[in-house]
Amino acid sequence: MKKLSLLLSALILQGNLSASDYDYEVSLLGGVNFAEPNYTIENQYLINGEMQFNNLSFGGIAPELSVLYSFPSEYRRIEGKTSLTRAGVNGVYEFTESNNAIPFLKAGLGYEFVDHELDGNTDGVFVDAGAGAKIKITDDWAFKLEGLYLVKYRDEANYDSNFDNNFLVMAGLTYRFGYNAPAKVAEPEPAVVAPVVVVAAVVAPKDGDKDGVIDANDKCLNTPKGLAVDAKGCMLDDDNDGIANAQDRCPNTHSWAEVDASGCAIKMSVHIDYALDSATIPADKAAEVTAFAAFLKKEPYAVQIIGHTDSSGKKVHNLKLSTKRAQSLKDALIAEGISADRILVTGKGEEEPIATNSTKEGQAENRRIEIVLIDPK
C-alpha cells in the first residue's frame, strides 16, 4: 500500500446568499404613501401587488413586477382629489435566511399615472429604492415588510424642487410557488467484495505462527496469535484496502479508495471563501486549484469531490448548494486539463458536520469540500 502525505491550506467561508428554492413569489401589501412637504398631494393609503421571478435570477438579483394603487387624496394647494397608479420593474437582492427572516434590497424604475392631473401633477417616470424582510410563516407563506423611497421628476415648479419625493411603508403576505427540487446526484456503485476463504486448520509439519497455514504456504509468517487468516496465512481484509481487519478502523472502505495506516480513506478538507450564494471559486484561490491539478497530472489517482454546508438555511437548498460547489471544483480541475472521467461529484448538504453548528466557528468548519483519493488499481 502506498503511503501519501498531502497538505492543503484551510480557508474560511464567511457566508452565503440564500437563493429561493421556489421559481415564483407573489405578494399583496397594504400601507401608506408619505409625501414630502413640497409635494402637492396629501399622504395616501395604498395597496401593492408584486410578483418576483426567482427562476430568472442573474447574479443573485431576481426581477420583480409591481402594480401599486394609491387611493384618492386631496390636493394641498387647490381643490380636488386624485388617485395614483404606478407600474414598476425592480431587481431584488436577498440575503441569507436568519431566524426565519430573509432581508432584501431592491431598486428599479416605473411609470406613474395621475387620475386627475392638477397643480402640475402629470404622468411620468419614477425611480425607486428600498429594503425590507420576509418572515417565514410556513415553507410557502411569509409575512413581508417593505420600505420604498420613490422619486419622480416634474416639469413644473413644485415649491422649491422639480422632484416629487415619496416614502412608502407597506406590510402584507407573500406566497411562494413553483418548488424547484434539487437534482439527484448519482452515487458511485459499491465495490463487490470477494468472498473470504478461511482455510481450516490442518496438521502440518511446521506452522510457526500457529495460524493453521503451514510455513511452506504461509505468506505472512508472523501473524499475531488468535487472528483469522486467509489461505495464504495473512490476516483477513474484508474491504480489500490492504489493512487487516484487526487493524482496520474503517472496515467498510470502498476498495477503490486510497487509505491511511488505519484503513480509512484519505480525505482532504478544503475551505473556500465563496461569494454569497455563489458556487464560483474566487480568483485568488486559482493557485490552489492549479497546484492540486498538477498533483493529479503526476499521480494516477481519480478523486471523489464531496460538498458540505452548515445547517443554516433549508436542507433542500443546502444539498443543492453543496453539489454546485463540488461541481465548481470539478469544472475548475477539468479546465486545468484533468479528465472528467477521473472526477466524481457528491453533495452531502448539512448531513455530515465535523463541528457544532451552534457557533460561527463551528459553522465555518462545516462549510467545506472533501476530496477522497481513489486508487487507480
Say which residue, 122 or 226, is predicted with more confidence: 122
Which of 92-101, 194-203, 213-222 has the highest average model confidence (pLDDT)?
92-101
The pLDDT of residue 346: 94
- Look at the alpha carbons of 115, 121, 125, 130 in this order and tell me if their dihedral is positive or negative: negative
Handedness of CA 26, 28, 29, 33 (dihedral sign): positive
pLDDT at 202 over 60: no
Segment among 50-59, 63-72, 209-218 with least mean pLDDT? 209-218
pLDDT tens digits, one per residue of 55-66: 999 999 999 999
pLDDT of residue 186: 67
pLDDT of residue 16: 38
Q: In the predicted model, is pLDDT for residue 141 greater than 80?
A: yes
Comparing 49-53, 116-120, 121-125, 168-172, which segment has the lowest mean pLDDT? 116-120
268 against 2, higher pLDDT:
268
Residue with cell 479528465: 339
Q: What CATH class has 267-374?
A: alpha beta
pLDDT higher than threshold 50 for residue 229: yes
Average pLDDT in the 315-342 region? 92
More confident residue, 21 or 281: 281
Domain 22-179 has CATH 1.10.10.60: no
How far is residue 139's CA from residue 292's CA, in Å, rounded to a whole number? Answer: 41
Locate the domains of the chain by residue range: 22-179, 267-374
The pLDDT, as a whole number, for residue 273 is 65
| pTM over the 0.75 mark | no
The residues facing 370 across adjacent strands are 269, 306
335 pLDDT band (50/70/90 cuts)?
very high
Average of per-residue pLDDT across 325-338: 92
pLDDT-based confidence at 271, cuts 50/70/90?
low
The pLDDT score that the predictor gives to residue 183 is 61
Mean pLDDT of 284-291: 87
Q: Please tell me the predicted confidence (pLDDT) of residue 52.
A: 95
Predicted confidence at residue 11, as pLDDT, reads 30
Question: 10-19, 62-71, 290-299: which has the minimum mean pLDDT?
Answer: 10-19
Q: What is the mean pLDDT of the chain?
A: 81
18 pLDDT higher than 50: no
> What pLDDT is stored for residue 275 in this prediction?
61
